[in-house]
Structure 1
Amino acid sequence: MEPKKNPKKDMRKYSGLYFQVGLILMLLFVWRAIEWKTYEKKEIEQQVVQFDQLDEEEQVMVMPPNTPPPPPPPPPAPEPDVIEVVEDDVEIEEQVIESTEVTEEVPEIVEVSEVAEAPEEEPIADVPFSAIEDVPIFPGCEKFKNNEKRKQCMSDKIRDFVNNKFNTDLGSELGLSGVNRVYVMFKIDNKGNIVDVQARAPHPRLQREAERVVKMLPSMTPGKQRGKPVGVLYNLPIVFQVQD
């Protein structure tokens, strides 16, 4: 007896494939059903913006910090004066406007019997040579414009002058030996003259010789402090060496 089913049309060999496809379709359907959302009609209506209500809401202005308050509104303009029209026949009393000028009284002239003299400026004290603003100018140092160069030029000129004028024979006459130091201090006054010469030496004759030589220094251009001539104090150490 022949079988009724066609072996070529047997569907059982594809049953596994059909099962898998059906399972996938069911999973997609269930996932879509879970993700699906429904909204009530009231909620949808509440989310609609009514444009006719925007004009009724208060406007909120956000001002930056430390912003000064707005100025107050200006005062109302004054009402215009009422101009009254008067007929020509009506007499109007004229108002006399008094002058508001203030008459100043002429001050009395007071005769001055004595005129007080202005106080004289205090003289500037003597300034040390190291602190003077404009140093005295020794003859021959005028070519230097710099204050420091003038100082150096003056020191060199005084040293050469003393070496040439000092009596070097005093050492043997006085029986001195070795190195002898003589300290001299003098002042160049506000006219450029050498004054107030003082000396200190190990022997009185050396002291007198140092004073004699320093007093022979030539007159100079006086030093200035704050633009005014002043006295300048100068210290001069003299080293006198006697050859044995």
Structure 2
Amino acid sequence: MEAKKNPKKDLNKSSGVFFAAGMVMVLALTYVALEWKTFYGKEYDVSENIILELVEEVPIIRLEPPPPPPPPPVAPKEIKVVEDDDPIIESFIDLPEPNQATEVAILEDLDFQIVPEEVDVPFILVEDAPVFPGCENASNKRACFNTKMLRHIKKTFRYPEIAQEMGIQGKVHMHFIIQKDGNIGNVQIVRSPDKNLGAEATRIINKLPKMIPGKQRGNAVRVPFSIPITFELQ
């Protein structure tokens, strides 16, 4: 039997289009079926979707009243007097009785010497501040003292080589006393970041020249002085 199909018609030409259209329809029907919702005469409450969660339960604190104070002690009804039969021991100091033959020492005949108490007067409180050499004729001797002190530090300053190699720097706080004779004494390191920097700062202070001592009420006094020396690498 001969085939009756028209050889000019290609039936597979649009098969891909029809297949894609069929798949889209099947997916659409499936989506509608899954999303279809039916209500049975009861209104839907949106608030049912809200889930209440407590992040942290807050404890309830109850303030208890303070306990009442204890009652005062009850005084005894009867007071008993206890007799003390122990004898009282008294001590007497046996002093010689003065008479006309007793010699009385006269204060003027005693050999004694009044030694004034050493009092340190701070630099900012002393009446006449110590005078740095070269500041004798300055109108403000305290300001001249500070200027000369800084010049002395810059002139005698040497950065320790070992501290430079190790990159050590910082401030060394020094304390010393200008004595009654104008010399520098009691040189102390208050605080230092390194022992080599402290040794150099001590050397600088010991190089200070002799000064005119400070005076309080016309008398020479010891005047303590503190100064920081900064070591900074360039």
Amino acid at match of 2:166: L
Cα deviation for residue 166 of structure 1 reads: 1.4
Amino acid at match of 2:128: D
Among 160, 164, 173, which residue is 1:183 paired with?
173
Among 204, 213, 231, which residue is 1:213 paired with?
204
**2:153 equivalent in structure 1:** 162
**1:237 equivalent in structure 2:** 228
Moved more, 209-218 or 115-124: 115-124
Please identify the structure whose Cα radius of gyration is greater. 1
2:187 paired with 1:197? yes
Structure 2 unaligned blocks of 5 or more: 1-103
Structure 1 unaligned blocks of 5 or more: 1-109
Determine the C-alpha separation between the residues in 1 that align with 2:210 and 2:187. Answer: 14
Determine the C-alpha separation between the residues in 1 that align with 2:147 and 2:179. Answer: 20
Q: Is the 8 A contact 2:160 2:197 kept in 1?
A: no
Cα deviation for residue 165 of structure 1 reads: 0.7
Q: Is the 8 A contact 2:179 2:185 kept in 1?
A: yes
TM-score normalised by length of structure 2 = 0.51
Report SS of the residue matched to 1:190.
Answer: coil
2:125 paired with 1:131? yes
TM-score normalised by length of structure 1 = 0.49
Determine the C-alpha separation between the residues in 1 that align with 2:188 and 2:181. Answer: 19
CA 1:175–1:132: 2 relative to 1, 3 Å = same
Structure with greater helix percent: 1
**1:223 equivalent in structure 2:** 214
2:131 paired with 1:172? no
Amino acid at match of 1:173: E
After superposing on structure 2, the runs of 4+ consecutive aligned residues of structure 1 that deviate more than 6 Å are 110-114
Question: What RMSD over aligned residues (CA atoms) do the two structures have, in Å?
Answer: 2.3
CA 1:111–1:173: 2 relative to 1, 3 Å = closer
Number of residue pairs the alignment of both structures matches: 129
